[in-house]
Amino acid sequence: MSTATQPIRVAMIGLGWVFTDIWAPMLADHPGFEVIGVLDPDPAAVARATELFAAARTLSTVDDLDPAEVDLAVVATPNHLHASTAATLLRRGIAVFVEKPVCLTSAQGAELVEAERAGGARVLAGTSAWHRADVKALRAQLDQLGPLRTVDLAWIRARGVPGAGGWLTSGDQAGGGALFDLGWHLITIGLRMIGWPPVTDVVGSVSADFVGRNGFESGWHPAGGTGGVDVEDTAQASFRTETGVFFTLSTAWASHAEADHTRITLEGADGRAELLCTFGLSPNRTGGSSLRVLRAGRTEQIEVPDEPVGAEYRRQLDLLPTLLADPNQPGAATAESVRIVDLIERIYASAGAVTAGPVPG
């Protein structure tokens, strides 16, 4: 196990675009981490990774990892492999960081809960948007809003459908479309802010008007493959918690908007806070972040720190050693993931898509 003077020893499981665009640049210049192993079915991806991280050995399977030689395995595989890969590692006593979505079904969530307990290791989960400076500033306004009444969560892309035919547009491999991809972040932020009260009534709707339509593809995801497309590009839902807070949720990979934007609005008895920004790595963004609070007809503009795109990922990385040492962390990420995937399943069920596809167009 690493100490305060030794780097966290990391094994990277999955070397796709998330590794190339996010993890590799961060880990390459972070003194607190050392990549000791890499695993991917693509030999070219492995060659690129081992060239960048000379100390990393190539793994054939996750069983090649010795629990004594690694402090954290980062699971950045395609979505359908997240839970099974993490469960295998956990049962061998290896802590895991799992990119979102942590699991695709409630059954997978239950398996992770069991594996975490059985192996005595812990799960950390990808929640990068929670660590954005503008989201932190929004959270700081909560106590001034009075009893919360409504929460509006929206992440709308103008053009951002992942390459059609790749695993991201396959229901079996991705779990779903925009709801899983974008909604996971929004649901985490919205429900975590108010302490994860149980959700009662759920109503949802999904559509697929932009998947496969020329001009609406993302420019930052890899080109698609030759597989089918059976996920939604747009999902909308409303739900209510047992504490009486009413939520609306909108996610879209593509739309008729001019630019991508994220909007989070909190309405309380004593005030209303509105955050407008753009989550993620899309280059087609609104300009910066804007946060304002409205009270009795008066508007206060809240200063939000200006930070580079993707700063939240580095902030999340910096926090991992603390989470690995936190005695309260075991069970926390899996409990949240189970709540999130349960809500997503209920939205799909309400929309008439118990699984993500096929989706009515």
Residue 73's CATH number: 3.40.50.720
Assess if residue 18 is contained within a domain.
yes
Strand order in the sheet with 246-252: 199-207, 234-241, 246-252, 148-156, 261-268, 272-277, 290-295, 298-302
361: confidence class by pLDDT, cuts 50, 70, 90: very low
* Domain identity same for 16 and 63: yes
Assess if residue 42 is contained within a domain.
yes
356: confidence class by pLDDT, cuts 50, 70, 90: very low
* Domain identity same for 183 and 166: yes
CB-CB neighbours of 235 under 10 Å: 31
* Domain identity same for 299 and 165: yes
For residues 332-337, average pLDDT: 98
Is 70 exceeded by the pLDDT of residue 273?
Answer: yes
Indicate the residue among 311, 332, 352 that finishes a domain: 311
Assess if residue 76 is contained within a domain.
yes
For residues 177-193, average pLDDT: 97
* Domain identity same for 160 and 303: yes
Query: Two tokens at 131?
Result: 């660590």
* Domain identity same for 20 and 51: yes
- Which of 265, 262, 278 has the alpha carbon at shortest distance from 138? 265
- Core vs surface per residue 237-254: b (16+ CB within 10 A) or e: bbbbbeeebebebbbbbb
* Domain identity same for 219 and 77: no
* Domain identity same for 28 and 87: yes
Assess if residue 245 is contained within a domain.
yes
Measured distance CA(219)–CA(226) in Å, rounded? 18
Measured distance CA(232)–CA(361) in Å, rounded? 8
Query: Two tokens at 361?
Result: 């167009």
* Domain identity same for 305 and 319: no
* Domain identity same for 265 and 322: no
Is 70 exceeded by the pLDDT of residue 183?
Answer: yes
Looking at the structure of the chain, the number of domains it has is: 2
For residue 239, what are the β-bridge partners?
202, 247
Assess if residue 237 is contained within a domain.
yes
Taking the mean position of all CA atoms in its chain, how far away is CA 85? 17
* Domain identity same for 150 and 42: no
* Domain identity same for 275 and 163: yes
Domain housing 168: 133-311
Residue 325: Cβ-neighbour burial (10 angstroms; 0-12, 13-18, 19+): exposed
Indicate the residue among 290, 311, 332 that finishes a domain: 311
**Beta strand 272-277 pairing with 199-207:** unpaired
For residue 249, what are the β-bridge partners?
153, 237
Assess if residue 345 is contained within a domain.
no
Contact criterion met (CB below 8 Å) for 9 and 72: yes
Please give the C-alpha separations between residue 245 and each of 75, 150, 200, 240, in angstroms, as whole numbers. 34, 5, 10, 6
Residue 104: Cβ-neighbour burial (10 angstroms; 0-12, 13-18, 19+): buried
* Domain identity same for 91 and 240: no
DSSP-based three-state secondary structure for 132: coil
User: What is the average pLDDT score of the chain?
Assistant: 93
Contact criterion met (CB below 8 Å) for 16 and 174: no
2: confidence class by pLDDT, cuts 50, 70, 90: low
Assess if residue 361 is contained within a domain.
no
Assess if residue 350 is contained within a domain.
no
CB-CB neighbours of 10 under 10 Å: 26
Give tens-digit pLDDT for 127-176.
999 999 999 999 999 999 999 999 999 999 999 898 766 888 888 899 99
What percentage of the chain carries pLDDT values higher than 70? 94
